[in-house]
Amino acid sequence: MNKKIALGVAAFCAMGLSASAWAADAATADEVIAKVKESAADVAAHGEAALAAYNDPKGKWAWKDTYVFVMDCKTGMMSAHPNDKVKGMKLADLKAKDGKDLGNALCAAGGKGAKGGWVEYMWTKPGAEGNFRKVSYVLPAGSYAVGAGVYDDTPLATLEGKTK
């Protein structure tokens, strides 16, 4: 009997540690804000010369379960992205998993002014079945707009308050 209890406790602890480890690998909204601000300064300062670094899925601009992407909203193109299928894509073709227009919404958020804006949409989560709420923060960066997303249930008004 004690052996069964010990095994049950061990299994429960292992599941708890696994969930904690997974949660530690999930980006936070505060991290997204900091990375987007840092990347906006980088792209604004270096322009096209900075873009290659944003295509590297193992580079500085990709962390935990997210990454920074760079858009040229004037030409309507995804200028830099760690996924080759998305890099170079027409923003008009970028749709959320529920079919809503995502590319133009991201550009609109970046066009809200110096503080940028947030967009919420449905997206797939690596390692999970189904679609989940994701929010992306977007800032203007010279002739580009930069953004990064996070799986987060925080209301948009609260997120907007963090960036104003």
Whole-angstrom distance, CA of residue 146 vs CA of residue 25: 22
CA atoms within 13 A on the CB side of 72: 13
Predicted model pTM = 0.84
Mean pLDDT over 19-47 rounds to 86
Q: Could you state, in order of their start, the residue ranges of all structural domains in the chain?
A: 28-163
Dump pLDDT digits (tens) for 48-73: 999 999 999 999 999 999 999 999 99
Res 139: pLDDT: 98
How many CB atoms are closer than 10 A to CB 35? 22
Dump pLDDT digits (tens) for 138-153: 999 999 999 999 999 9
Res 24: pLDDT: 58
Q: Does domain 28-163 have CATH number 3.30.70.20?
A: no
